């Protein structure tokens, strides 16, 4: 029997008086791709940080492959974290390191291990994201924004994670480059059988990357459903958000 890959149950998190997460429930099946949408400051990043074990919820449960991570020991959290890959907003590449070391960073933790093998692995991973071996020795700041995003994507998949988190994967890219990245994310997650969780403001990206979309508002998931229903959800919050209307229940 296989259960959900990630399961959040009644997750709550407040900062002082401010309740950010107020009973989040969300279940993600193995191989599924889910996008969390919601306005600025609704707690999308806080949700992600709680799942990553970087922030501890005040209450509730978060299970990864059936293992509880809320209140788990640091060593247990480390083990669970080894299943995760992450594409950070803005890429977060190290300009002081050549591309090949950036791509293999998750495997070497920045140590100078097995350079020949790591270079080969970096070249093979870059090929998966449509980049050539000619950029292996360049620094990230010598690349265009779209290429940096691909390098960041290569870094996220290099350790072959079971679960990958995408934080605003198309931020800063024009619509065409965004579409290229969305297509790449879809094909990589499908080919590698990775479970994916994306947080984004970009509806085009959410609809393309995810099979299912969940909307966070007022500390809760107020709606979730298949991506085809995003513009036909029957939910006034989703309707207002996806159509970018000033009028509606969201203030």
Ligand X SMILES: Nc1ncnc2c1ncn2[C@@H]1O[C@H](COP(=O)(O)OP(=O)(O)OP(=O)(O)O)[C@@H](O)[C@H]1O
Contact status: 237 vs ligand X (CB under 6 A): no
CB of 43 to ligand X, least distance (A): 4
Of 1, 2, 15, 74, which lies in the binding site for ligand X, with binding defined by CB under 6 A?
15
Q: Distance between CA atoms of 163 and 95, rounded to whole angstroms?
A: 26
Of 45, 108, 171, 218, which lies in the binding site for ligand X, with binding defined by CB under 6 A?
45
- For the window 17-36, what string marks contact with ligand X as x by the rule CB under 6 A? ---x----------------
Of 7, 44, 155, 224, which lies in the binding site for ligand X, with binding defined by CB under 6 A?
44
CB of 35 to ligand X, least distance (A): 13
Identity of the residue, 46 or 215, whose beta carbon is nearer to ligand X in the bound complex: 46
Distances (CA, A) of 166 to 113, 117, 158, 221: 27, 27, 15, 18
Contact status: 43 vs ligand X (CB under 6 A): yes
DSSP 201: S
User: Would you give the distance in Å from CA 97 to the centre of its chain?
Assistant: 23
Environment class of 117 (CB within 10 Å of its CB; exposed 0-12, middle 13-18, buried 19+) = exposed
Backbone angles phi, psi at 239, to 5 degrees: -60, -45
Distances (CA, A) of 38 to 127, 138, 187: 34, 37, 25
CB of 48 to ligand X, least distance (A): 8
Of 41, 110, 115, 226, which lies in the binding site for ligand X, with binding defined by CB under 6 A?
41
Closest CA to 24 of 36, 39, 32, 34: 36
Give the tokens for residue 77: 């959290």
- For the window 154-193, what string marks contact with ligand X as x by the rule CB under 6 A? ----------------------------------------
Identity of the residue, 3 or 41, whose beta carbon is nearer to ligand X in the bound complex: 41
Containing 221, the helix (H) or strand (E) segment is strand 220-226
Contact status: 198 vs ligand X (CB under 6 A): no
Contact status: 40 vs ligand X (CB under 6 A): yes
Q: Distance between CA atoms of 182 and 188, rounded to whole angstroms?
A: 10
Contact status: 42 vs ligand X (CB under 6 A): yes
Give the interface with ligand X as residue ranges (CB under 6 A): 15, 20, 38, 40-46
């Amino acid at each position: 029997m296989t259960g959900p890959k990630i399961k959040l149950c009644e997750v709550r998190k407040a900062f002082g008086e401010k309740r950010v997460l107020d009973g989040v429930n969300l279940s993600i099946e193995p191989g599924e791709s889910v996008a969390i949408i919601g306005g600025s400051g609704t707690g999308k990043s806080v949700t992600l940080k709680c799942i990553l074990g970087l922030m501890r919820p005040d209450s509730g449960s978060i299970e990864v492959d059936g293992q509880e991570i809320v209140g788990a020991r640091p060593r247990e959290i480390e083990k669970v974290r080894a299943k995760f890959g992450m594409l950070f907003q803005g890429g977060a590449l190290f300009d002081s390191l050549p591309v090949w070391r950036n791509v293999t960073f998750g495997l070497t933790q920045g140590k100078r291990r097995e350079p020949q093998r790591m270079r080969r692995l970096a070249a093979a991973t870059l090929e998966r994201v449509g980049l050539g071996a000619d950029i292996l020795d360049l620094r990230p700041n010598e690349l265009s924004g779209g290429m940096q995003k691909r390098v960041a994507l290569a870094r996220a998949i290099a350790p072959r994670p079971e679960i990958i988190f995408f934080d605003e994967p198309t931020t800063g890219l024009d619509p065409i480059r965004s579409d290229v990245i969305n297509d790449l994310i879809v094909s990589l997650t499908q080919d590698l059988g990775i479970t994916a969780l994306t947080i984004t403001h970009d509806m085009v990206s959410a609809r393309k990357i995810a099979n299912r979309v969940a909307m966070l508002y007022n500390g809760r998931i107020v709606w979730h459903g298949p991506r085809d229903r995003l513009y036909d959800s029957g939910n006034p919050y989703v309707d207002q958000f996806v159509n970018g209307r000033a009028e509606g229940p969201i203030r």
